[in-house]
């Protein structure tokens, strides 16, 4: 964390840590909103501004409020908010974020333009003009051609929000439990037959009874992909599924899998699948594509495992963190062709397509 007192930056970084899809432009937007006077009336107005700019759902709005409560004092007057954010703080934040923006976008510095802009800001503050009335713009230097294949920010091919949404499409809805919901049509039909409403017709609530088994390749060539595979597993907490089982293997899945990432607690596949009838099975592995090699033994053993797995369920999909353009002539390509298991790149379209396979909807 920076040594400067930057409360808004602390809030921003904590939201990023919690999985919010926020980038540098979102932070700059909040700074400019503060400079224009938004969010300065009270602590509540500041919280409302942050929720409006950074939250996309009621759940995220609550998280923004929680972070603000943790970072900022419980009660803030307008003067205290201005002391926290203006004027030195806003200049320091803008200067730092300008430097970050130039570094991330590969921009060269336009020295003359920046000097003139900073002089105008300094003059405005020295004259005693309220910071909220000063239009602060982030200077952008002269651009040069950028290599779009080089990801300086490190964006994931599928965001955490998209992961959560994808899981929610995997559903097996059934009515179970006590009758608590009103069946309108059945109630009307009963009234029509009897000529009077004796009592309403109630039915059990619809629940998602879908089960899923995740088989995660662990260690070796999968280590560099933890930044996307771990959030994918974490997002299952918000899936709404009735049951999720996560098992691990190294390189080649066998009839003995492991219930912990350290591969220390073996479990029998047959025993596991007895409790996961008609479940979807999602395999997460590079299948040997990361190193670009072809291993015939790995292909044969994986084929044997898939044939065993198909005895329990036909709904099997494979997501590969390595892009499809790199599968050619590798073990992954052979597994895809010979095992007859749909394999998709671990990105947003690929994850959506894999969920459709698990639902039994193969196009």
Nearest to 280 by CA among 191, 209, 181: 209
Round to whole Å and give the CA distance between 136 and 95. 12
> 145: pLDDT confidence band, cut at 50, 70 and 90?
low
Strands 266-268 vs 256-258: parallel, antiparallel or unpaired: antiparallel
| Contact partners, residue 286, CB within 8 Å, separation at least 6 | 217, 221, 222, 225, 320, 321, 322, 332
Residue 113 has pLDDT above 50, yes or no: no
pLDDT of residue 344: 94
| Burial class of residue 269, CB neighbours in 10 A (0-12, 13-18, 19+) | buried
This prediction has a pTM of: 0.55
| Burial class of residue 12, CB neighbours in 10 A (0-12, 13-18, 19+) | buried
pLDDT of residue 75: 62
What integer is the mean pLDDT of 101-105? 51
Q: Terminus-to-terminus CA distance in the chain, angstroms?
A: 49
pLDDT of residue 72: 75
Percent of the chain beyond pLDDT 90?
19
Please state which of the ranges 53-57, 206-210, 261-265 shows the lowest mean pLDDT.
206-210
pLDDT of residue 6: 67
Tracing tokens 């007859």 back to the chain, one arrives at 340
**With helix as H, strand as E and coil as C, how does 33-100 read?**
HHHCCCCCCCHHHHHHHHHHHHCCCHHHHHHHHHHHHHHCCCCCCHHHHHHHHCCHHHHHHHHHHHHH
**pLDDT mean across residues, the chain:** 77
> 140: pLDDT confidence band, cut at 50, 70 and 90?
very low
| Burial class of residue 359, CB neighbours in 10 A (0-12, 13-18, 19+) | middle
pLDDT of residue 117: 43
The segment(s) of the chain belonging to CATH 3.40.50.410 are 210-358
Q: How far is CA 59 from the centre of its chain?
A: 14
Contact 360, 349 (CB under 8 A): no
Round to whole Å and give the CA distance between 16 and 152. 17
| Burial class of residue 37, CB neighbours in 10 A (0-12, 13-18, 19+) | middle
> 79: pLDDT confidence band, cut at 50, 70 and 90?
low
pLDDT digits (tens, 9 = 90+) for 300-322: 999 999 998 888 888 899 999 99
Strands 211-217 vs 280-284: parallel, antiparallel or unpaired: parallel
| Most confident range, picked from 174-178, 209-213, 254-258 | 254-258
Residue 111 has pLDDT above 70, yes or no: no
DSSP state, residue 220: G
The CATH superfamily of 210-358 is von Willebrand factor, type A domain (3.40.50.410)
pLDDT digits (tens, 9 = 90+) for 279-291: 889 999 999 999 8
Round to whole Å and give the CA distance between 262 and 244. 19
Percent of the chain beyond pLDDT 70?
73
| Burial class of residue 98, CB neighbours in 10 A (0-12, 13-18, 19+) | buried
């Amino acid at each position: 964390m920076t040594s400067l007192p930057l409360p808004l930056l602390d809030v921003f970084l904590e939201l990023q840590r919690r999985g919010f899809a926020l980038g540098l432009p979102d932070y700059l937007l909040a700074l400019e909103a503060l400079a224009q006077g938004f969010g300065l009336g009270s602590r509540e107005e500041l919280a409302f501004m942050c929720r409006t700019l950074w939250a996309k759902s009621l759940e995220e709005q609550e998280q923004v409020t929680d972070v603000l409560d943790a970072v900022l004092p419980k009660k803030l007057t307008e003067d205290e908010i201005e002391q926290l954010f203006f004027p030195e703080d806003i200049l320091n934040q803008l200067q730092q974020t300008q430097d970050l923006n130039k570094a991330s976008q590969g921009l060269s510095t336009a020295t003359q333009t920046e000097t003139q802009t900073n002089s105008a800001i300094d003059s405005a503050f020295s004259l005693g003009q309220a910071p909220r009335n000063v239009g602060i713009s982030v200077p952008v230097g002269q651009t040069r051609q950028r290599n779009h294949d080089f990801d300086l920010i490190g964006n994931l091919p599928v965001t955490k929000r998209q992961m959560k949404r994808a899981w929610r499409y995997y559903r097996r809805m059934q009515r179970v439990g006590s009758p608590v919901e009103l069946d309108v049509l059945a109630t009307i039909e009963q009234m029509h037959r009897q000529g009077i409403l004796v009592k309403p017709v109630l039915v059990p609530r619809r629940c998602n009874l879908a089960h899923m088994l995740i088989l995660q390749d662990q260690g070796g060539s999968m280590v560099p992909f933890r930044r996307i595979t771990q959030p994918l597993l974490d997002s299952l907490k918000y899936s709404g599924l009735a049951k999720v089982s996560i098992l691990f293997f190294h390189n080649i899945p066998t009839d003995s899998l492991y219930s912990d990432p350290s591969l220390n607690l073996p479990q029998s596949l047959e025993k596991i699948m007895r409790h996961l009838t008609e479940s979807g099975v999602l395999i997460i592995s590079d299948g040997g594509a990361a190193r670009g090699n072809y291993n015939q033994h790995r292909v044969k053993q994986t084929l044997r495992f898939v044939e065993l797995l198909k005895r329990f369920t036909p709904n099997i999909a494979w997501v590969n963190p390595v892009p499809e353009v790199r599968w050619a002539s590798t073990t992954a390509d052979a597994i895809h062709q010979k095992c007859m298991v749909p394999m998709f790149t671990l990105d947003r379209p690929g994850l959506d397509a894999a969920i459709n396979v698990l639902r039994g909807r193969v196009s």
